[in-house]
Amino acid sequence: MVSKKKIQLGLLVVTGVLMVILLRLVQLQIIDGTMYRQQSENNRLRILSSPAPRGIIYDRNGVALVKNVPFYSVYIMHDPARRVDTAALSSLIGEDRQDIETRLNRKDNSPFVPIRLKQGLSFQEVARIEARRSDFPGLFIQTDVGRSYPFGKTGAHVIGYLGKMTPVQAGSPAFSDLPPETLVGQWGVEALYDKQLRGVAGGRVIEVDALGREHRLVRQEPSVRGKDVVLSIDIRMQQAVEEAFGDKAGALVALKVDTGEVLALESLPSFDPNQFTDGISSADWQKLVEDKRKPMMNRALQSQYPPGSTFKIVTAIAGLEEGVITPDTTVNCTGGISYGKWTFGCWKHEGHGNVDLHKAIRESCDVYFYEVGKRLGIDRIYKYAIALGLGKPTGLNLLKERAGLIPSTEWKRVKRGQDWYLGETFNSSIGQGYVAVTPIQLALMTATVANGGSVLEPTLIKDPKEVRTKSKIDIKSETLRLVKNGLSAVVNEEGGTAKVAESSIVKIGGKTGTAQVVGKTRGLLGERYMDHAWFVALAPVDKPEVALSVFVEHGGHGGSAAAPLAKKAIEAYFADRAALNKETKTGAALPGTKSPGKERAE
């Protein structure tokens, strides 16, 4: 039964709890009442986010490749208690009145988060709005960080650009802490190192009075500036390349042979990253995407073609290492060889006469390399090509690379279901037929030859903490010496196919190549049917520092079209380095005097 005692207990509980509530009311309304009254009168919280300045991207010589520029937007702190004269506001900021009203009356608007009305204001607009701001309580201008690219199209494929977050990005965890419409890296290094460059946005919570004036700072979190990124590329080298290419399409990749640092990576035609920051118009975007010359394609990584005679470097190394030739082996070139009903010609129809290895490389004799290829067989060529870094992505993480292709008997059996023919070995040994490479692969192959057999992972960061060696190939130093001599002869000896690339600044070695375009053999003319020109180079040839590959789309012959570009790029790099060395020498005069003493002390 419910006893009287229990009812009394209930009464006690009720009374006690009500007393607690009354006491709390006394505290809030009487003791602290004045304070709360004050707060309710000033009660207008506003959150302003202050974006972090984005890290700067520098080239290897400390030249800033990007600039942070102010980016103005106009916001309104919309107080539902006040009617806004949207007609006047519309004429002031130059946005559609309907559009403003939609933004103001969105259901999910929060009374303490400002509403953006327009972004990317010009200086004139900012001045006009500031002057009349007092007519519109709660209206204010916020400065965000925008980006400009002083070098424009140069290096655009490496540097990339910023753009508004895409809906997919906004939904992904990597961007979850960013406010919508934030500019984030969308291409190139800007995208690759976005997290590092971005920094951490700060914020201010302020209380504003009835007129929207700042009343008190409630809380502030300073923004943390993004970290800078120092790239391995040399922007002056890139400029020299771009200039040298002129209207031609193509790509150039230069690597530092001991570290894998990318010194230059140019793909032309290029695009202007500046047109993306303010939000590219869909018409402009359409134009870029539909451009027949494909400016948005990174040819250095994404175009693959037969390497032509540059591949003879691989054939020569394989021949020497496998012992099927010696430096003294000679082949008589009569302008071509016959095999069955086919004839495989040398580019020099009258023939080279008796050819040894040195002359074969220097003058790019096809017949000599047919013979080497015949003695090796395709599978041994395959082995060396792969070991030198061809036929697979190089691992530069800028964007998805194409893999290229090095054929083998197995490949043909699996992919084509056919046997391999000797004629195909002939074609392959001079880099035609099935063989396909990307410009960056060819640069990596050249760097591997230059550094004595280490296939490095290319990187865009200057002075990488660790040099990543993907694989190593043992090549006899005698083989390397012979091949390098040959490459030097191509540029520096009479009869060399790239005599035009001889430089007075630095001794360059190289190899020309021409990728045949189907159609030319059928007698078609015009640029569309011109061959693609290749050139690979290393410099200085005696103690290589730089290795590069040049690819010129429909450029014609490698010697005339591609080699001069390589020369200009290499000269730009070494001129830059010389200038820099001079600076450090004069700058380091004082510490320099110290070092002998230090040595003595040790």
Active site residue ranges? 309
In this complex, which beta carbon is closest to another protein, that of residue 87 or of residue 218?
218
Lookup: tokens for 580:
């820099």
In this complex, which beta carbon is closest to another protein, that of residue 43 or of residue 275?
43
Lookup: tokens for 589:
């005069």
Among 22, 200, 224, 578, binds another protein (CB under 8 A): 22
> Residues with Cβ < 8 Å from 493, sequence gap 6 or more?
362, 499
Among 63, 64, 126, 205, binds another protein (CB under 8 A): 205
Stretch of residues binding another protein (CB under 8 A), selected from 75-83, 227-235, 255-263, 426-434 = 75-83
Among 94, 111, 171, 180, binds another protein (CB under 8 A): 111
In this complex, which beta carbon is closest to another protein, that of residue 109 or of residue 223?
109
Rounded Cα gap, residues 411 and 357, in angstroms: 29
The secondary element (H helix, E strand) that includes residue 444 is helix 439-451
Shortest Å distance, C-beta 455 to another protein: 50
- By C-alpha distance, which of 241, 286, 325, 273 is closest to 66? 273
Among 67, 70, 82, 135, binds another protein (CB under 8 A): 82
Among 70, 80, 120, 592, binds another protein (CB under 8 A): 80
Shortest Å distance, C-beta 75 to another protein: 16
What are the φ/ψ torsions at residue 208 (nearest 5 degrees)?
A: -120, 155
Rounded Cα gap, residues 185 and 195, in angstroms: 9
Confirm or reject binding of residue 204 to another protein (CB under 8 A).
no
Confirm or reject binding of residue 18 to another protein (CB under 8 A).
yes
Burial letters for 480-509: b for 16+ Cβ neighbours within 10 Å, e otherwise?
Answer: bebbbbbbbbbbbbeebbbbebbbeebbbb
Residues between 33 and 62 with contacts to another protein, criterion CB under 8 A: 33-37, 39-41, 43, 45, 47
Residues between 404 and 443 with contacts to another protein, criterion CB under 8 A: none
Convert residues 447-476 into a mask of x (bound to another protein by CB under 8 A) and - (unbound).
------------------------------
> Residues with Cβ < 8 Å from 15, sequence gap 6 or more?
none
Q: DSSP of 227-257, one letter per residue?
A: PPEEBS--HHHHHHHHHHHTT--EEEEEEET
Shortest Å distance, C-beta 470 to another protein: 46
In this complex, which beta carbon is closest to another protein, that of residue 64 or of residue 205?
205
Lookup: tokens for 219:
């809380």
Among 53, 61, 68, 79, binds another protein (CB under 8 A): 79
Q: How many residues bind another protein (CB under 8 A)?
A: 42
Q: DSSP of 533-583, one letter per residue?
A: EEEEEEESSSS--EEEEEEETT---IIIIIHHHHHHHHHHHHHHHHHHHHH
Confirm or reject binding of residue 100 to another protein (CB under 8 A).
no
Shortest Å distance, C-beta 113 to another protein: 8
Peptide bond into 137 cis (omega under 30): no
Among 28, 87, 88, 524, binds another protein (CB under 8 A): 28
Confirm or reject binding of residue 17 to another protein (CB under 8 A).
yes
Number of alpha carbons in the 13 Å side-chain half-sphere of residue 366? 25
Rounded Cα gap, residues 84 and 80, in angstroms: 9
Convert residues 156-195 into a mask of x (bound to another protein by CB under 8 A) and - (unbound).
----------------------------------------
Convert residues 211-250 into a mask of x (bound to another protein by CB under 8 A) and - (unbound).
-------xx-------------------------------
- Residue 458: Cβ-neighbour burial (10 angstroms; 0-12, 13-18, 19+): buried
Rounded Cα gap, residues 71 and 73, in angstroms: 7
Task: Find tokens 């140069």 and name the residue.
Answer: 154
The secondary element (H helix, E strand) that includes residue 139 is strand 139-148
Shortest Å distance, C-beta 570 to another protein: 58
Shortest Å distance, C-beta 93 to another protein: 22
Confirm or reject binding of residue 81 to another protein (CB under 8 A).
yes
Q: Which residues bind another protein (CB under 8 A)?
A: 1-2, 4, 6-7, 10-11, 14-15, 17-18, 20-22, 24-26, 28-30, 32-37, 39-41, 43, 45, 47, 79-83, 111-112, 205, 218-219
